[in-house]
Amino acid sequence: MEAFDPNEPVKLKIMFPNENYFHQRFGSLLSMKYPNIEFEVIEPVAVNGVTTKEDRVQQVKEKQPDILLLSSPLYEEFVANGSLMELESVIKQDNFDLSDIYPSVIDLLREGGNGKLYGLAPEFSADALFYNADLFRKYGVEMPTNRMSWDDVLQLARRFPAEGSEQERIYGYQTGIAQSVCDLILEVGNTLGLTPVSPDGRNLLIDSDRWRKVIESVLNAYQSDTLLVAKGTTTLELLQSSIFQIENDPFLNGRVAMMKDGYNFYSKIEQGKRLIQNYRPFEWGVVTVPVDPENPDKTDAIFLSSIYAINSKSSHQRAAWEVVKYINGEEVAKLESRLEHAQIPSRQAYAQAKPEFDVEPFFALKPAVKRWSDNQLPSGFNESFRALVTEELDLVCEGKKSLDEAISSIQTNGQLLLVHK
């Protein structure tokens, strides 16, 4: 690739979720670094508040942005259809240093690129299991440890009392934001390498012995009334649940023994201290997320949601690469490390520990080989399927159906949803 000429005026189009946020986060940095580059921000088009994969693919064809900010599923989609510029050669040409980037990030990027790099990610997301040490001591339950299985976690949760009013009682485990019982079942299954749908997206695979064991395990914990689960079936209903407002969050109020959360949990603790009336401090700890006992050093709880890639058809690939390189470089990482972000800096030197916050569990596990992704499923299937599972499991809880009958119904009706969506 030719050398970059900083004096040549260039206009680059970048697909970014929000124009104001782009200018707020990178505007001044990029204008100082590259005064002759003008940026046009293309926001993804949303239909009824939702941007589908098909919408994004079509928009890229029409608008032809030079730089794209992509999630992992979209990154894989654009790699597969040849829309992205391969970066291996230009990285080598410019001696761009990847040695300080967490190996897990590079592994995920190469996995999505069929062994090659087609994008770079300056940050990543990872979860860990947080616990209230005071509650474990109070009720004589052993503290959580690294590399527990989901069965271990759910069994620990069931050892906490289930008595008391909804506003004051203790829960053993709180599901994540916008996570229903169905989502927890899928999460447990995914950790164990199970896929609810065949790789080609045509067949539902729920009616199996291994899936039955997962469903039974989660349902037993749920029926024990020691799981705190958001009510509702749609994402909007779940997000609107009051338990996900900081001041009402049961974990921050000291009423939940365990929950999964991300790297920015410490900031939630700080917010809780300010927003919760009569806040009572408690000792909390963190361990790795639950793992597959057969692969205890790997996790599916590492995510890339901010991958910067270059359009293979761009006529300004050199300038685009300079920008992608800069955003993923040490200078920006150093500057951004001083700010509060929900994601973890990909450059290891800037993922610093915070007071009282052991960050090691976020990095202790390697990413598991990707087992399945819902980006191949028909539009609208996910919410319909979750509603079906919720309805059937409610019937089991009410004693109106056996678990086997519910699973059979989920398999039959879920297959119809899959075929006809």
Tell me the per-residue pLDDT of 218-255, one tens digit each, with 9 for 90 and over: 999 999 999 998 665 455 555 555 455 777 788 999 99
Between 296 and 336, where is the model more confident? 296
279 shares a domain with 203: yes
319 shares a domain with 294: no
Q: Can you give the pLDDT at residue 232? A: 53
Q: Can you give the pLDDT at residue 287? A: 97
Within a domain: residue 2? no
What confidence category does residue 174 fall into, taking pLDDT thresholds of 50, 70 and 90? very high
What confidence category does residue 315 fall into, taking pLDDT thresholds of 50, 70 and 90? very high
The three-state secondary structure class of 101 is: strand
What mean pLDDT is reported for the chain? 89
Within a domain: residue 203? yes
Mean pLDDT of 44-73: 84
Which of 153-162, 185-194, 274-283, 393-402 shows the lowest per-residue confidence on average (mean pLDDT)?
274-283
**C-alpha span between 297 and 294 (Å, rounded):** 9
Domain that holds residue 41: 10-122+306-367
The answer on pLDDT for 276 being more than 70 is yes
Within a domain: residue 3? no
Task: Choose among 7, 65, 74, 70: nearest CA to 39.
Answer: 65
Q: Can you give the pLDDT at residue 108? A: 94
Tokens of 194: 């199970």
284 shares a domain with 177: yes
74 shares a domain with 62: yes
The answer on pLDDT for 1 being more than 70 is yes
pTM here is 0.86
- Which uninterrupted H or E stretch holds 415? helix 403-420
Separation in Å, CA 286 to CA 128, 289, 309, 360, 412: 7, 9, 34, 9, 40
272 shares a domain with 131: yes
292 shares a domain with 166: yes
pLDDT, tens only, 195-216: 999 988 889 999 999 999 999 9
Q: Can you give the pLDDT at residue 240? A: 55
| Tokens 């793992």, residue located | 291
Within a domain: residue 133? yes
pLDDT, tens only, 183-194: 899 999 999 999
Q: Can you give the pLDDT at residue 307? A: 98
392 shares a domain with 338: no
Mean pLDDT of 59-74: 94
CATH number at residue 38: 3.40.190.10
Within a domain: residue 47? yes
404 shares a domain with 351: no
Within a domain: residue 335? yes
271 shares a domain with 132: yes
The answer on pLDDT for 40 being more than 80 is yes
Contacts of 231 (CB under 8 A, 6+ apart): 237, 238, 241
203 shares a domain with 102: no
**C-alpha span between 155 and 153 (Å, rounded):** 5
pLDDT, tens only, 118-144: 999 999 999 999 999 999 999 999 999
Residue 13 and residue 65 in contact, taking contact as beta carbons nearer than 8 Å: yes
Total structural domains within the chain: 2
Within a domain: residue 1? no
Within a domain: residue 327? yes
What is the DSSP-derived secondary structure letter of residue 340?
-
Q: Can you give the pLDDT at residue 234? A: 53
**Apex CA 307: angle with CA 303 and CA 312, to 5°?**
140
347 shares a domain with 399: no
pLDDT, tens only, 249-259: 889 999 999 99
254 shares a domain with 399: yes
Residue 299 backbone phi and psi in degrees, to 5? -145, 155
What confidence category does residue 337 fall into, taking pLDDT thresholds of 50, 70 and 90? confident
CA dihedral 91, 93, 99, 103 (to 10 degrees): 30
**C-alpha span between 190 and 187 (Å, rounded):** 5
